[in-house]
Structure formats: C-alpha cells, structure tokens
Amino acid sequence: MTTRTDQAEQRDVTCLLGCRTRAGEPFPAQHGYRTCDPCADELRADIQELARLYPELARAVVPSGGAPAGGLGAPGYGSRSPARDSVLVLTDRRTRAEDDGDPHAVLEVLAGWADNIREDTGMSVPDPGAQREGRLLVGWLDFTARQPWAGRLDTPLGQLRDEITEQLGLAPRTVAGEAAFLVEWFDYITRQYWVSDLADEIRGLLPLVRAATGTAESSVPVGTCPTTEESTQRPCGARLRVRPDADRITCPKCRTRWPRATWDKLSDAQGTPVSDVAALSAWLSVPAGTLRRWRGEDGWTNHGSPRRPLYERDAVLTSWQRRRGGLLAG
C-alpha cells in the first residue's frame, strides 16, 4: 500500500540525468525510477548507437589513402605507424584514463558497468581457477570432436562445449554483447543512484566514436528554441538539432521536448526568422561562399537590404537538407 509519505518522497525524486523544467527546476523522475522517461530513452538510444558505430572503428583505425607502415615519409622523419591513435585508444582494452577528459576503451567501459550489474544482482562470477580448468576442458572437447572416430559425438560434444563456455564466461566479450546486456537490464539501471555516472561515461564516449567514424554531423539543425523563459519572458533561443532516427527534439538549454508528432507545431512556433550570410554560415557550419552559391541556385528571397541581405532560415534549411539529406520539411 502506497502511503502519503511514500508519495511525498517520490515527488522529491528528480531525474538524475540533468533535465530541467521550463522554469529551470530539476525535472521529476518517473515513479519508482531515478530518471524521467525521455532521458531514459535517450540514454538507451546512446548505448545502442555505440554498439552500432563500434564496428566502423576497425575501418577508421588506418585512414584511407595512408602510406603503408614502414613506407617513406618526409625528409627528416622516421617511419611511423599509419594507425590513428585517437581510434586505437577507443578499441584497445588496455587504455586507461589518467586525467579527467581522457578517452576510455569502449568495450572496457561497457564491460565494467555490465560486471557491476552482475555483481549487484548476485550473478555468479567464476574464479580464475575455474576458468583456467574450463579452458582445458573446452580444448579437450574441441580436440575430441575433431577425431575421425568421434562420429555422431561431435554434436553433443559441441553443445557441451557451448554450455561450459557460457557458464564460465569464457566467450570473448564484445561491445555488441555488453551493450545488449545493458539494454536488457535497463529497467534495473534506471532505478539505481549511479545511473548518472553511467550516462556521463556514455555521453563522453559517443562524441569520440562519432568523430572517429565520421558521423559527428549525423544530426541536423532545425532552428532555435521558441520556449518562453519565465524569468525574462523571452524565447530561449538555444540552437536545436536532431538525429534522423530520433523520436523527439530536446532543447539543450531549457530541456523542452517536442515529440515527432509535434514538429510541425514547433516549426510554426519558430515563425520565419531571417539571418545574414555570416550568421547562417555559423548556424549550419557551411562556408559563406557555399551559401551564396546555394542562394543563386535556389533563388532565396532577400528580406533585408542590398547592403545587408537577410534570408529566411526555413529556405536556407531546405537547401541544406536537399544537399545533405532531408529530415524536416520546414
């Protein structure tokens, strides 16, 4: 039975992932959890994106077109590895962060949190001695199954081998496997006080992996936040971006959220802002010369003066989407 005291305590539980209401107050957590649903959805999506992008790191270790190891370099320089160190630290489990901001190995981070859950929930963790003996047994089973006289024994021997490997944790760990484990236990994770620490590490890794795999610009700009701030009665004005597979747009400043079904209303609420080429260049990270070429090709209307032309952001964004991959119409 839920008492009034329990209800009052739950109202005092705020989302630990940093989201805020429009008034700037901490957003309440979902009942029984330590996160709100939107933040939990974003964290789950980030873990899944890490698993999806990680295989691309293998191709990003050596840049395309790089000179082979041991090849001739510029005069005065010795031979150097063509591998990208920034990618190696994300894939080598020996990577250790010594200072704040240093990168971690992706597998090491996910495996560490997965092991925390296994320990907290009482899952059996085999000791090194048992694993050593298990490897010997698995090796003997493999050897026996390959013998000509084994005959039909190869199938049951293979099944026994798989069971021993799973029970003793002998299978090699993978980013995909550990990420799937975290997603499977996500209901448990979002009830724990350390969920914010997990989120911080995932959020720290994801930009590095995106940059290493060339997907850092996977989100597109959608305008500025029109939410009125209660303290100033002015629009928030923060720049809004969204990934193509996202279900909602979240303001990075005031944390207002717009589900996909309300994106048309968001576009209407933004009105028809206009900007000059310099501001548009900073907004879209596109060179000013490229924008001027788009202006000629797409026929933007000048809402300013000949000396300081101003163009509708909606029109400019439409040109950007036409060339970079459309997401929002307007």
pLDDT digits (tens, 9 = 90+) for 43-53: 898 899 889 88
- Segment 77-96 mean pLDDT: 50
pLDDT digits (tens, 9 = 90+) for 239-284: 787 876 677 888 877 778 888 888 878 877 766 667 788 778 777 7
Encoded tokens for 278: 């310099």
Report whether pLDDT(288) > 90. Answer: no
Report whether pLDDT(70) > 50. Answer: no
| b/e map 57-68, b = 16+ CB within 10 Å | beebbeeeeeee
Q: How far apart are the first and last CA of the chain?
A: 50
Q: Tell me which amino acid residue 99 is.
A: D
d(CA 200, CA 178): 17
Counting every residue written for the chain, the total comes to: 330
- Segment 20-25 mean pLDDT: 60
Distances (CA, A) of 183 to 15, 24, 148, 291, 324: 19, 30, 43, 42, 31
- Which pLDDT band, with edges at 50, 70 and 90, does 20 fall under? low
pLDDT digits (tens, 9 = 90+) for 134-188: 778 778 887 888 888 877 777 787 788 777 776 666 667 888 889 999 999 999 9
Report whether pLDDT(72) > 60. Answer: no
